[in-house]
Amino acid sequence: MSHTRSGTAGSEAPATGETSLGDSLGTFRRQQDILTPAELAGMSVDIVGAGALGGAILLCLCKMGFGITNTLTVTDFDRCEAHNLPTQWFRPSDVLMDQAKVDALAEMVGWVCDRPITT
């Protein structure tokens, strides 16, 4: 059985129609030559594994603007354990709270990318 967390990342849009502070700063300007916002809106991304590689992929995608207008899904059955701390994106408190990896990762991405992750 796997634990899945799916959702969009974003906050209440500012009055100017931007979807986040990152947009108003021009954060995603360089990526728009690769994928336009309209192309991005129609995509969904599935990541299997919320460990070292899955966490890095999710963080990079969110920093590029994925998850604002489309859906990111991360699937992992595992919980945060002490041996994950040196190589993965989790905090000691995630281990102490027996947090599911996908939930801990969603929280981390939310504060790094400055927008909440919702389900």
Q: Which CATH number applies to 19-112: 1.20.1260.10, 1.10.150.20, 3.50.50.60, 3.40.50.720?
A: 3.40.50.720
Average pLDDT over residues 5-21: 46
What is this structure's pTM? 0.70
For 34, residues 6+ apart whose C-beta sits below 8 A from its C-beta are none
40 Cβ contact list (under 8 Å, min separation 6): 65, 66, 69, 70
Classify burial at 94, counting beta carbons within 10 Å of its beta carbon; exposed 0-12, middle 13-18, buried 19 or more: buried
pLDDT computed for residue 8 by the predictor: 46
Annotated domain spans of the chain: 19-112
pLDDT digits (tens, 9 = 90+) for 33-62: 777 777 878 788 899 999 999 999 999 888
**CB-based burial label for 45 (10 Å; 0-12, 13-18, 19+):** middle
